[in-house]
A and B are shown apart, each in its own frame.
Chain A
Amino acid sequence: MIVFPVLRGLPKIDRVPATYIFFVVNIFVFLLASADYNSSQKRMDAYLDSDGFLQTQGKVFSSFARHHEQQFPPLVVGLADRALQGDSDTQKLMGSLALRSPAFASGVSSFHPDGDDVEVQNWRKDYKEILSIQMSHPSYQMGLSRGHEGPINWITYQFAHSGIKHLFWNMLFLLLFGLFLESLVGTGWLVLLYLSSGVVGAFVFDMMSGFSASPLVGASAAISGLVGGVLAICWGHKVRFFYWLLPSRGYFGIVWLPAWVLLIVYVLPDLTGILSSVPDLNSVAYYAHVGGTLWGVVFGILIRRRVLIASPVDSVAKRYI
Chain B
Amino acid sequence: MSMVLDDIYSAPKPKQDISDPKRSMPVSRHASAVDIQGVDLYHDLATPQDRLAAISADLVIFLPLVMLCLAPIRRISLENQILGIDQDWIRLLAVGIIFIAAAAYQTFSLLLWGATPGKLFIGLRVRSIWNGEKPTAMQSFVRALLHSLQLLLLAVPWISLFSNPRRRVLHDRASDTIVVVHSKRKGAGPPHPYEISMASGMQFAVLSSLLIFTVFQFRGSMTDVASGEGGGRTTESQIIRELESTHVLCRVVGEAHRDWLGNGETKSATRVEAALALFAAGIIESDCLEKEADYVLWRKNEKREAYLAKALANQDNVELIESYQKKICTDENSSACQVLRSEVIFLEEPDSISATVKRESSGVDQYEKSAREMFDFAMRAGEAEYVRVFTIRNLFAIHDLKRVLLLLQKSSPHYLLGSYYSSIRAKAYYLVHQDANSMQNLRSSLDGLTIDQRQETAAWFCYAQTFRGCDSSAKLACDMHLQFVNTRADSVAQDAKSVIAAVRAGQCWEDEWQKSNQTLLPLVSQELLQVLKSSSGPGSNGNLREVLESESTVENFALRAEALRQILAQGSDINEQIQEFETGSFEWVELARLQMQKYENDRKMELAWNLGKQIASVDPYNMPVLKRMVVLGHRLGHINDAHQFVKELATQIDDSRLDFARPTGRRLPASLAESQEESLGSSARAMDVAADAEFFEAIKGLKP
Contact = CB atoms under 8 A, between A and B. Distances in A.
B60 A3 contact: yes
Interface stretch (B292-300, B362-370, B412-420, B665-673): B292-300
Query: Residue among A1, A87, A271 with the most chain B CB within 10 A?
Result: A1
B324 interface: yes
A63 interface: yes
A84 B56 CA distance: 47
A264 B83 contact: no
A233 B65 CA distance: 23
A162 to B, nearest CB: 22
B75 A86 contact: no
A75 B79 contact: yes
A264 B246 contact: no
Interface stretch (B66-74, B515-523, B588-596, B634-642): B66-74
B327 to A, nearest CB: 6
A250 to B, nearest CB: 8
B74 to A, nearest CB: 4
B235 interface: no
A245 B598 CA distance: 92
A115 B53 contact: no
Contacts of B84: 82, 87
B82 A281 contact: yes
Contacts of B61: 264
Contacts of B64: 264-265, 268-269, 272
Contact of A272 (B71, B294, B310): B71
B57 interface: yes
Interface stretch (A25-33, A116-124, A153-161, A181-189): A116-124
B248 interface: yes
Nearest to B246: A87
B52 interface: yes
B194 to A, nearest CB: 21
Interface string A96-119: 000000000000000001111111
A85 B295 contact: yes
Given A86-B295, A276-B78, A1 B56 contact: yes
Contacts of A119: 310
Interface residues of A, number: 44
Interface in B62-111: 64-65, 67-68, 70-72, 74-75, 78-79, 82-84
Contacts of A75: 79, 82-83
A82 to B, nearest CB: 7
A246 interface: yes
B243 interface: yes
Interface residues of B, number: 45
Given A63-B298, A116-B297, A275-B75, A85 B243 contact: yes
A67 to B, nearest CB: 11
The prevalent SS among residues of B at the interface is helix
A79 to B, nearest CB: 6
B68 A275 contact: yes
Interface in A226-241: none
Contacts of A265: 60, 64
Given A85-B243, A271-B68, A275-B71, A245 B53 contact: yes
B549 interface: no
A278 interface: yes
B71 A246 contact: no
A79 B320 contact: no
A122 B71 contact: no
B240 to A, nearest CB: 9
A281 B320 CA distance: 33
B16 interface: no
Contact of A118 (B68, B74, B121, B323): B323
A277 interface: yes
B249 interface: yes
Interface in A1-29: 1-3
A86 B56 contact: no
A246 B291 contact: no
A40 to B, nearest CB: 28
Contact of A276 (B57, B70, B324): B70
A115 B297 contact: yes
B82 A272 contact: no
Contact of A269 (B52, B67, B246, B302): B67
Interface in A271-313: 271-272, 274-278, 281
B239 interface: yes
A70 interface: no
B628 to A, nearest CB: 55
B30 to A, nearest CB: 22
Given A115-B294, A116-B297, A276-B71, 14 more contacts: A1-B57, A85-B295, A86-B291, A86-B294, A114-B302, A118-B307, A118-B320, A245-B57, A245-B122, A246-B49, A264-B60, A265-B60, A272-B70, A274-B71
24 contacts: A84-B299, A85-B243, A86-B248, A114-B299, A115-B297, A116-B293, A116-B306, A118-B324, A118-B327, A119-B310, A245-B53, A245-B56, A246-B53, A251-B53, A269-B64, A269-B67, A272-B64, A272-B68, A272-B71, A276-B70, A276-B72, A276-B74, A278-B75, A281-B82
A-B CB proximity, top 9 nearest? A275-B71, A276-B71, A276-B74, A268-B64, A245-B56, A1-B56, A118-B323, A115-B298, A245-B53
